[in-house]
Structure 1
Amino acid sequence: MVEVRYTRNLFLRGICIIYLFAFLSLYLQIPGLFGDNGVLPARTQVDLKGKGSLWHKLSHKPTVLWFASYLGLNVEYMMDLVALTGALLSFLGFISQKLCIAPVFMLLWTLYYSLFQVGQVFVQNNWDSLLLETGFLCVLIAPFYISAKGNTSTPSDSVAFWTIRWMLFRYLFSCSAMKLASRCPLWLNLDALSYHFETQCLPAPLGWYAHHLPGWFLRFNTALVFVFELVIPLLFFFPNRRVRITAYYIQMFLQVHIITTGNWNFRDFLVICSLIALLDDQFFYKKKSRKSSSTITPILSSLICIAVYSIIVYGAIQIFNFRLTDNWTIVSRIGFTYEQFDQFLGRGLPLAIYIGLASLGFTVADALTHSILSNKPTTTRLFTFLVTTIYTFAVGFLFAMSAISFSSLHPSQNVTVPVQLRPLYSKINNLHIVHGPKDFALFPKMTGVNGRPEIVIEGSNNIEGPWKEYEFLYKPGNVNNSLPFVAPHTPRLDWQMWWAAQGTYHQNPWLMSLTYRLLTGQKEVTGLLNNVEKPFGNSPPKYIKATLYHYHFVPWRKSLNQQSWWIREVVGEYFPIFSRDHPPLLEYLGKMKILKDEKEVTVTNDVLKSLLGAIRAIVNKVEASLLLWSVFTAGCAIIMTGNNSGKK
């Protein structure tokens, strides 16, 4: 049996780090996004003074925020308490392996799910879905407790840990499959990366340099992305260990490049952490072979690995028509049509599910065999066999549910789903423990071909002008502002502004709330913007409007003579001029329940209110990404200090 005890422990501590980033990042934005004076107040989702029993409220919207009134808090303060509790628990799990146990991960998942339930449009992102599913799987993977002597590896560990491979496969495969299935010509022509670095939500500094790489090199890398995400993930289930480890290095290579060229929050850090599931304890603790004849096995394993990847390289050359030219450039062109890919996807989805099922079956058989044939006492073996069987049923259930969602990648597979499983899948769908391709994939169609659309909000005290721009902290605005490195912080307002630019303000009603908060000068919302240079001093403007621009990276040659990162051109009006007392605006916000009503909940717990307020006052003095990395560094220092003191 493959030992995964130390590998599992490393993975669980890594997930604690991701939870820490997620909770802290969200905590910093609660007043401006979800507070009583925020863009989308959470009190509209949780009516603490509403009628009905607590059980009825929990069944309607499962969230611990319903307990706010029992603690003498309102919804905003309760969100602060939930986020801080989640951050504290995840930090403790990060610095101490003893707290990486199932009850703690159940609490972490419950707390994040509770915030997710009221986050509305600001949490409808694939990294939130990915964290919820991975976090729930951690409840199965983590031990229930850790004794003073430490827990030994059990057969059920490998069964539970396998679920991360399956989740990771579905995520990576869906990302590329939906790009090709969307019929986007830029993906089908391998030209997508020529626009991607410029049009992604929050470009990183290296994204500018990547954008100016030669076209042939970007086309070649687009083809490699398809290979890395459509083919290599299938090797996660390959029985040969070296093949899986090689797949680990390939995926790490891809994720590191994504992190360095764009700000994708904690998503890619979560993927990197999940890739640990491809490894085992032997990867970290090499065992010397006692017999010289055992060298035959490593040699055979290496030959199999070379053969497998040689086949993949040969297939990639044929499918993407890779050709080396006389001037040492690589020509790339997709050698299949959309119809051929659609046919492949329709037939390949069941095959991928069968491969996953076979891999799970082998893992379960190996675990059950070792639970029976171990050298432990009979009662211990029977107990281990029973526990492994229970875990097998749990994992099998999750596999069946995920297979239903995964099959939605192709319409032809929806009819193959057993009718008996559909009602069960519908019941657990709201828990977000299993996600489908649409929840995982981003940008199936490349946007911003004619320029990166950006909304610039402007204010003025005179309807005739002059108009002054509002600067956001991270998204492009001033063409002279440098590109930021934000990850793993998730600036949700900046991200949502990118989504809003893809449509109209009628399709993004939260923009009207943002406009009103700026017109009334709500400090909670303006705190999410760049307040270094206050365009209107301490008073809000009388009028606000928004203009749509197209942004382009400054060409390579021009950048040598100027300091700008962007050039931009006006497209037109995004939304018209609004004032604070604009009747249609007030009426619209009233329907959205944004404006306060008479049922405002008062905070009666003065002690807890003062404590939460003091913490908020301290934290708000530190820049978000700096705070996240500082807390992470502090955790590393505590771990190192503890290890050194233990050695002494």
Structure 2
Amino acid sequence: MMEVSKPRRLFLWCMAAIYMVAFVSLYVQIPGLYGNEGLLPARLELRYGIRSSPTLLWLGPHLGLDIQASMELLCLLGALLSLAAVLMEALRDSLVFLCLWVSYLFMYQVGQVFLYFQWDSLLLETGFLTVLVAPLTLVRGSRGIREHDSMTFWLVRWLLFRLMFASGAVKLMSRCPTWWGLTALTYHYETQCIPTPLAWFAHQLPVWWHKLSVVATFVIEIAAPFLFFSPLRRLRLGAFYLQVLLQTLIILSGNYNFFNLLTLTLCLSLLDNQHVNFWLRKRDDNRERKEAGSSERWSWICYLLELMVWSLIIFGTIVFFDLQFDPHKNGVSSRTAFTFDQFNQFLKAITIPCIWMGVLSLTWEMITSIFRCACVSGFLTRFWGMFQWSVFAAAAASMFTISLVPLSHMEYDSHVHLWPVVRQAYDLVDRLQLVNSYGFFGWVTGVGGRPEVVLEGSYDGVTWTEIEFMYKPGNVSAPPAVVTPHQPRLDWQMWFAALGASAPWFTSLVYRLLQGKPDVIELIQTDVSQYPFHQQPPTYVRAHRYRYWFTERKPDGSHQARWWRRVYDEEFYPMVHLGHTYLENMLSRYGLKDKLPPRHPSNNTVVQLLSWTRSQVKGIPAHTIIWAMLACSATWCFLMGLISNRKHTDRISTCTETVVNLIDEAEKQGDEKSDAEQEKEEEVEKD
């Protein structure tokens, strides 16, 4: 029976840290994105978009705050609460995580296009599961192990399975020729949104290595997730380390904010106390040693089964991707040895068994949990445990049931045959983001070169100056940035804009640059002095689309002076100025010049505090703030852990010393008693 108390505690700590990152990253961008003079003012969204949706932001006017100040206050409270949860275990509580989830949900409701990313939905879904996983320490005043913890923690593993399997399946279901041809990574490193410097070096690897990496990706995302529910512990650990390997490589080669960190946090659901103790170099408790000892006679059977599973995975990989050693390239040749129809048939055959696998696995967790509840001594304790089990079992079953809707989206027939009541239940909670569909990197873009939009400004319409962003590629000599776990949301949307036509927010961006709005400029350059038009706004602004490629390594193996090369593609946005007919028509079309109700500025204590806080972080890059907070939090937790271990060691030493003294005293009394008895016997003999 797997003990999960330590992975669960580590999971809660990581979730608190990820919430802190998400709130801080969003907070620094609120004025430029959603401010009253930002790209997409939240006042417009609240006025026209979500009147029927409940949100705490409606309470802002009652506190003397406008919408921008309300969003900043909500983000700051979320950041402070998550920071407190990182530092103090007592605050990693179900009620605290509920507050964090509700706060991020309210931000998501007004986030519009800048917050509609899959990782934001993933954070909301994981955050709601965290509410079920976390203990009610603030109510009960205890951080003890609950009998149903393994059952609620299982939901995290089920989410990880859905995430990884869907991410692998969507790559093939999209019919993207690069995924089917195993050449996706020959383009991915240079065409992803914000690559890292290591992406340049990864791009220089030989083609056979890129193709083999794609094969490994399919194995890790499609085959390995089925091992998550294996009854053999070492198979689960093997799947865990495969996922860690994939996510680590993605972190090193691309800036995907907190997404990969969140995925690694989900992977903690595959661990148990025994393996965490192995990391910490701690000895297992008596119960775990007893369980390990009782299974020694069956260990050879387990080893044989594990060897068969890994051999089957390796053999299937060789067969389905026709892996062969190529002596001419000193590498491994590979190709996809199955068709789209065959893969589609595989999905049809595997979707229903996946659902039953989840049903059986969850049922087993429920049975083991109720068995533990029944074995607790004391009638009242047993009754309370059974009541808790009933509540959380119903919650787990409900979450699992509605998650079948997004899971079955991959295969039409299975989705159609779902019970209508399941789809109705899913529709009822859809806007709360309790369960979502996933599928990352389904289509590789930029096969003919990475499209990139370059903004330019001018005072006379003749001499033009490029407006460089802090993070996205622009200057061909500038190295790629490293910003993880921060997400510069404007830079991300610039990448999406380059793939298609201009969006409403892009027209708003051009308009704000012509006006010289400082909040929007800080989204482009935190250090405003680096912005070429910081003294006076440009008179004209235009945008062109270029095609970017990574430069190639020199024949002698040395690095090029430039990281990128580019060629001109086409005009993306025409030259405009304030009052230009085209600009005015676009602003009116998108409702960006609609008149809003007059605002009544307030100067109460909350507003002053928000202004002071904003002034303290102004001019500091967001990723610097985030890493500083993470470093300080990790250092604090490490020091507290050392102190706790020292106190524990001192307590053990004191107890040991007391026991030794008692033993010595008992032995001394025994010796004295023996001497007295011996003297008495000698006197008797003399008599």
Same fold (TM over 0.5): yes
Return the offset for 1:562.
3.7
SS of the residue aligned with 1:68? helix
| Mean Cα deviation higher: 470-479 or 589-598 | 589-598
Deviations 1:388-443 (A, max 9, x none): 1221111111111110111011222221111122222111111111001xxx2233
Say whether 1:557 aligns with 2:542.
no
Name the CA distance, whole Å, in 2 between partners of 1:99 and 1:601.
38
Distance 1:340 1:7, change over 3 A: same
Whether the 8 Å contact between 1:553 and 1:567 is mirrored in structure 2 is yes
Aligned to 1:344: 346
Q: Which has the larger radius of gyration?
A: 2
Say whether 1:495 aligns with 2:497.
no
Name the CA distance, whole Å, in 1 between partners of 2:599 and 2:353.
55
Whether the 8 Å contact between 2:402 and 2:435 is mirrored in structure 1 is yes
Residues 304-383 of structure 1 aligned to structure 2 (within 5 Å):
304-327=305-328, 328-372=330-374, 374-383=375-384
Aligned to 1:414: 415
**Aligned counterpart in structure 2 of residue 621 of structure 1, from 612, 619, 625:** 619
Aligned to 2:25: 25
Return the offset for 1:315.
1.1
Say whether 1:296 aligns with 2:297.
yes
Structure 2 counterpart of 1:81, which letter?
L
Return the offset for 1:102.
0.6
Return the offset for 1:149.
7.8
**Aligned counterpart in structure 2 of residue 527 of structure 1, from 522, 526, 530:** 522
| Mean Cα deviation higher: 123-132 or 440-449 | 440-449
Return the offset for 1:146.
5.7
Name the CA distance, whole Å, in 1 between partners of 2:232 and 2:441.
34
Whether the 8 Å contact between 1:35 and 1:42 is mirrored in structure 2 is yes
Whether the 8 Å contact between 1:545 and 1:575 is mirrored in structure 2 is yes
Aligned to 2:513: 518
Whether the 8 Å contact between 2:469 and 2:491 is mirrored in structure 1 is yes
Whether the 8 Å contact between 2:553 and 2:560 is mirrored in structure 1 is no
Name the CA distance, whole Å, in 1 between partners of 2:230 and 2:463.
65
**Aligned counterpart in structure 2 of residue 74 of structure 1, from 66, 86, 89:** 66
Name the CA distance, whole Å, in 2 between partners of 1:267 and 1:500.
21
| Mean Cα deviation higher: 322-331 or 357-366 | 322-331
Return the offset for 1:386.
2.2
Distance 1:234 1:59, change over 3 A: farther
SS of the residue aligned with 1:354? helix
Deviations 1:516-542 (A, max 9, x none): 000000000001113443323411111
Aligned to 2:168: 176
Distance 1:292 1:197, change over 3 A: closer
Say whether 1:92 aligns with 2:84.
yes
Return the offset for 1:626.
1.1
Structure 1 counterpart of 2:44, which letter?
T
Residues 183-222 of structure 1 aligned to structure 2 (within 5 Å):
183-222=175-214
SS of the residue aligned with 1:622? coil
SS of the residue aligned with 2:543? strand
Whether the 8 Å contact between 2:486 and 2:623 is mirrored in structure 1 is yes
SS of the residue aligned with 1:159? helix
Name the CA distance, whole Å, in 2 between partners of 1:467 and 1:29.
28
Return the offset for 1:590.
3.7
Return the offset for 1:193.
0.6
Aligned to 2:665: none
TM-score of the aligned structures, taking structure 1 as reference length: 0.94
TM-score of the aligned structures, taking structure 2 as reference length: 0.89
Name the CA distance, whole Å, in 1 between partners of 2:194 and 2:422.
40
Aligned to 2:668: none
Return the offset for 1:230.
0.5
Q: Note the aligned Cα RMSD (angstroms).
A: 1.9
Deviations 1:315-338 (A, max 9, x none): 111111111223541111111001
Return the offset for 1:496.
0.3
Say whether 1:536 aligns with 2:533.
yes
Aligned to 1:643: 641
SS of the residue aligned with 1:243? helix
Say whether 1:231 aligns with 2:232.
no
Return the offset for 1:58.
8.0
Distance 1:96 1:320, change over 3 A: same
SS of the residue aligned with 1:409? coil
Distance 1:14 1:167, change over 3 A: same
Aligned to 2:475: 478
Whether the 8 Å contact between 1:242 and 1:302 is mirrored in structure 2 is no
Name the CA distance, whole Å, in 2 between partners of 1:361 and 1:59.
41
Name the CA distance, whole Å, in 2 between partners of 1:597 and 1:127.
34
Say whether 1:130 aligns with 2:122.
yes
Aligned to 2:685: none
The alignment covers a number of residue pairs equal to 633
Aligned to 1:385: 386
**Aligned counterpart in structure 2 of residue 250 of structure 1, from 235, 242, 246:** 242
Aligned to 1:576: 574
SS of the residue aligned with 2:269? helix
Name the CA distance, whole Å, in 2 between partners of 1:448 and 1:58.
36
Return the offset for 1:46.
1.7
Name the CA distance, whole Å, in 2 between partners of 1:517 and 1:298.
68
Name the CA distance, whole Å, in 1 between partners of 2:5 and 2:539.
62
Name the CA distance, whole Å, in 1 between partners of 2:138 and 2:239.
32
| Mean Cα deviation higher: 33-42 or 598-607 | 598-607
Whether the 8 Å contact between 1:3 and 1:153 is mirrored in structure 2 is no
Structure 1 counterpart of 2:576, which letter?
F
Whether the 8 Å contact between 1:480 and 1:564 is mirrored in structure 2 is yes
Deviations 1:36-89 (A, max 9, x none): 111111111123xx9xxxxxx987123211110121100000111000110011
Whether the 8 Å contact between 2:576 and 2:582 is mirrored in structure 1 is no
Name the CA distance, whole Å, in 1 between partners of 2:96 and 2:363.
29
SS of the residue aligned with 2:120? helix
SS of the residue aligned with 2:28? helix
Whether the 8 Å contact between 2:452 and 2:495 is mirrored in structure 1 is yes
| Mean Cα deviation higher: 299-308 or 564-573 | 299-308
Aligned to 2:426: 425
Return the offset for 1:148.
9.2
Return the offset for 1:591.
4.6
Whether the 8 Å contact between 1:207 and 1:261 is mirrored in structure 2 is yes
Return the offset for 1:147.
8.1
Name the CA distance, whole Å, in 1 between partners of 2:490 and 2:273.
41
Distance 1:262 1:351, change over 3 A: same
Whether the 8 Å contact between 2:370 and 2:389 is mirrored in structure 1 is yes
Deviations 1:265-298 (A, max 9, x none): 1000000111000011121234263696753344
Structure 2 counterpart of 1:363, which letter?
E
Return the offset for 1:510.
1.0
Name the CA distance, whole Å, in 1 between partners of 2:313 and 2:636.
44
Name the CA distance, whole Å, in 2 between partners of 1:551 and 1:214.
20
Aligned to 1:54: none
Whether the 8 Å contact between 2:114 and 2:490 is mirrored in structure 1 is yes
Name the CA distance, whole Å, in 1 between partners of 2:544 and 2:173.
33
Return the offset for 1:234.
1.0
Distance 1:521 1:400, change over 3 A: same
| Mean Cα deviation higher: 387-396 or 159-168 | 387-396
Identity of aligned residues (%): 37
| Mean Cα deviation higher: 224-233 or 382-391 | 382-391
Say whether 1:83 aligns with 2:75.
yes
Say whether 1:458 aligns with 2:422.
no
Structure 1 counterpart of 2:613, which letter?
I
Deviations 1:547-573 (A, max 9, x none): 000000001117836411000000010
Say whether 1:10 aligns with 2:3.
no
Structure 2 portions without partners, runs of 5+: 278-282, 648-687
Structure 2 counterpart of 1:448, which letter?
G
SS of the residue aligned with 1:528? helix
